[in-house]
Amino acid sequence: MVVLPDIRDIKNVSSIILAHVHSFNSMWFFTNHGVSHSSSVENYVEQIIKICDLCGIELNDAEKAILRCACWLHDIGRIREQNGLNHALESVNVIRILCDKGHLNLGAIKDEIEYVVSAHSSKGLPLANVEMERPISGANYNVRLKLLCALFKIADECDIDRLRAPKSVYDVLEDLMPESSRFHWVRTWNVIRVVLSYEERKIIIHIVEGSHEEDILESLTKTLKDERIKQVLVQYKFPVVDYCIQYHPPVDISQD
């Protein structure tokens, strides 16, 4: 029998770590990488799981657990690596510390979670170095590891809307922020929402009309255009491999 972790335990432990990620001066000016970011990524993972069900991919229990755990573990390395250059690999190190010290129990899928966490960043494990499928102890099925890495990277990249950069936090830190950070936070406010649409076979990005904030989408669109990722998604017939932008007029309630 395959032993899978309890996602509630993963959330509880990771939330303690994530609460301290932005406690360091070098992380103050980063958009959110704490609990709310992990929660948002989890929302996108659930959208992806639903799409997989609709298109017949049918992720097994271990594959779903790997994705859900990665939501809460992929950025915990930032507590040790604040500049973000190697945070994916540092997250793997933190996972191992927490497991070795008895704080986490990732059951039979610990190695697979580490793969997904490491591969979610361009500075981490290259997708080419990930096995297509991998057996896990206690199960009579494999997990499609390369597919999981590709799906999780998309889920993480989708969290780029205005909730990622709270206006209240910006107003408190604005006078301390470097220009590049201020510019990034302000641009993010104009991304209203990001939705993975099975019906339209696209990631729909809702942006305020006239804001010219397409640059904020650079990382997401680069991921979707990555031929290595696209090849994996097409191979497994995951239908959402493209994106579109929907513009919405800015709020104007003035009266003539």
Number of folded domains that form the chain: 2
Last residue of a domain, one of 114, 142, 157: 157
Which structural domain, as residue segments, surrounds residue 199? Answer: 162-248
135 and 220 both lie in a single domain: no
The residue among 157, 188, 204 that closes a domain is 157
What gap in Å lies between CA 157 and CA 221, rounded to an integer?
Answer: 9
From 157, 192, 218, the end of a domain falls on 157
With respect to residue 256, please indicate whether it lies within any of the assigned structural domains.
no
DSSP per position, 183-236: HHHHHHTTEEEEEEETTTTEEEEEEETT---GGGGHHHHHHHH-HHHHHHHHHT
Please say whether the beta carbons of 181 and 221 come within 8 A.
no
Kindly report the pTM of this predicted structure: 0.94
52, part of any domain? yes
Entry field: residues in the chain? 256
Question: Phi, psi (5° rounding) for residue 190?
Answer: -90, 0
Both 144 and 37 in one domain: the answer is yes
- The answer to whether 250 and 210 have CB atoms below 8 angstroms apart is yes
- What is the chain's pLDDT, residue by residue, as a tens digit (256 residues)? 889 999 999 999 999 999 999 988 778 899 999 999 999 999 999 999 999 999 999 999 999 999 999 999 999 999 987 665 689 999 999 999 999 999 999 999 999 999 999 999 988 899 999 999 999 999 999 999 999 999 999 999 999 999 999 999 999 999 999 998 998 898 899 899 999 999 999 999 999 887 666 677 888 888 989 999 999 999 999 999 999 999 998 876 665 5
